[in-house]
Structure 1
């Protein structure tokens, strides 16, 4: 495991999202409110780094986790945290995408996709990921999505980019470096307007879609997987 890489990742994440640790606590509270006291299986998309595992594993001994990530190096970090916390018997880590889950994998009681969607450029591929996540969830299961969002051409996003840059200035980054990060770094990720993200969730089969988190460039949504039996489907007004 590359400990230096892990440290850089942890530090940068907390600068980029000052409420980073609080976010995982909020998601845990949501899952706890939705899941029974019995054993619950949680699917973690983008598990590299292991922060979901370290945030939710120790305090929820009845939960099991399946984590998927395309970065082998980041999964090594997640495995190291899992071993340190004594969670190995409750965690399965898979190198690849959600499509690499075993074909006989049962559906899950809950799922998270935190800081992944904005790294997928193609809108259809975003939709495919969300649909596949939905297909691996039990009817009514809670799902949490956290992603960068915004209309690239809007003044609103430009204002939030200015605030995001200020996070890094306050963390000691030089103004020239921050400008470079904005112009050639963060703007390379795939931003979608909030309503379009919510539309993708709805099109993927999720319902009760509610925005619960905003910090800087990032937003979070909670929702439920609607089933073919109608579970979790809101009635039309």
Structure 2
């Protein structure tokens, strides 16, 4: 969950991440069902920010073969994993996978929707990042985001982390791997409280910000770009 994303160990990501994140598959299933309410089955252009690993692409493309996808991720290794997962699943979506950052995507094209799952806590300049996503969405487009959140100095955060540790160890994650992950929070990842995430989404131009998922210190939200279709 926290590593050098170009290291060969990223190929263990697909196996390890469901052991770490409670209700991992349910998070993406809920994202898909909520997204489906907003988009036409006939055609939609979806931007997937942090597409490496492939979970969003596999979930969405399997259920919505008529949609087209633009996946962006700075890690070539993680994008390779996404391609491999799509191939093994027998899915051949209309997908353009781009190695790079959101700000490198074409500005003129406006997507019908976007996802950014389990990425925001790795980003230091969160408002600028969210603004870059918003600028590439059509007015009224839905946006789905999930991230580690919380006040790292609070007792509540520490309590949640202790419970999360027990969850991971019970799922087969080693004590050493947990310690490495725990130590990375605040150094290689940068969570902020949920209230701050919601405030940043508003400042970036999103409305109707609504939490739809919560598991220990991971929350998921959906929102709408601008003041269009509600």
TM-score, normalised relative to structure 2? 0.89
Distance in 2 of aligned mates of 1:177 and 1:57:
32
Match of 1:58, SS state, is: helix
**Match in the other structure for 2:123:** 120
Is 1:74 aligned to 2:78, yes or no? yes
Cα deviation, 1:137-173, whole Å, max 9, x if unaligned, reads 1111100010000011111111110111111221234
Question: For structure 2, which runs of at least 5 residues remain unmatched after alignment?
Answer: 1-5
**Match in the other structure for 1:107:** 110
TM-score, normalised relative to structure 1? 0.87
Q: Offset of 1:84 from its aligned partner?
A: 3.6
8 and 186 in structure 1: CA distance in 2 versus 1, 3 angstrom threshold? farther
80 and 177 in structure 1: CA distance in 2 versus 1, 3 angstrom threshold? closer
Q: CA RMSD in A?
A: 2.0
Distance in 2 of aligned mates of 1:218 and 1:88:
31
Question: For structure 1, which runs of at least 5 residues remain unmatched after alignment?
Answer: none
**Match in the other structure for 1:34:** 38
**Match in the other structure for 1:231:** 228
Cα deviation, 1:91-147, whole Å, max 9, x if unaligned, reads 00000001221355x2111100011110013xxx21111011111111111000100
**Match in the other structure for 2:216:** 216
**Match in the other structure for 1:48:** 52
Greater Cα radius of gyration, structure 1 or 2 = 1
Q: Offset of 1:53 from its aligned partner?
A: 0.8
Match of 2:68, SS state, is: strand
Is 1:161 aligned to 2:161, yes or no? yes
Number of aligned positions between the proteins: 223
Q: Offset of 1:87 from its aligned partner?
A: 4.3
Is 1:10 aligned to 2:14, yes or no? yes
Q: Are the aligned partners of 1:94 and 1:100 in contact in 2 as well (CA < 8 Å)?
A: no
What stretches of structure 1 move > 6 A for 4+ residues in a row? none
